[in-house]
Amino acid sequence: MGPLILIAAIAAVIITAGVRYYFREIKGNEQKTHQCLHCESYELVEINRDTKGSRTVESVGGGTMAGGDVRLQLDYEVTYHCNSCNQNSKYRITKTF
Ligand SMILES: [Zn+2]
């Protein structure tokens, strides 16, 4: 009975980590996929990226002795060129490191 619970616990940890990784990947892909503001096409090519601002954010409740970790957050303004209608679309992106 003992080892079985241990195996189940390890499996649960692995599954949890896998699910987290999976959702993080989906979220990352969502941020990359933008739609043209003019024709709603997804045929966009990034042509410019400006850093508009940066700040440090502290994640609270991380459960660490240090009291969470400090992360760098950057604001980008990304310009995409649409291959369908040849117009540009600008997007604001916030990225946390
Ligand atoms: Zn377009």
The per-residue DSSP string of 18-62 comes to: HHHHHHHHHHHHHHH----TTT--S-EEEEEEEEEEEEEEE-S--
Residues 11 and 55 in one domain: no
Residue 67 has what pLDDT? 59
Residue 50 has what pLDDT? 95
CA of 27 to the centre of ligand 1 (A): 23
Q: Hunting for tokens 């400090």 — which residue is that? A: 70
Residues 48 and 13 in one domain: no
Residue 69 has what pLDDT? 77
Residue 82 has what pLDDT? 96
CA of 42 to the centre of ligand 1 (A): 8
Residues 44 and 14 in one domain: no
Contact call for residues 34 and 46 (beta carbons, < 8 A): no
CA of 93 to the centre of ligand 1 (A): 19
Kindly report the number of other CB atoms within 10 A of residue 22's CB atom: 10
Contact call for residues 71 and 96 (beta carbons, < 8 A): yes
Q: Please give the residue range of the domain that contains residue 80.
A: 36-97
Residue 75 has what pLDDT? 94
Residues 43 and 86 in one domain: yes
Q: Mean pLDDT per 10-residue run, the chain (97 residues)?
A: 84 87 64 83 94 86 64 93 96 89
Q: How many domains does the chain have?
A: 2
CA of 33 to the centre of ligand 1 (A): 14
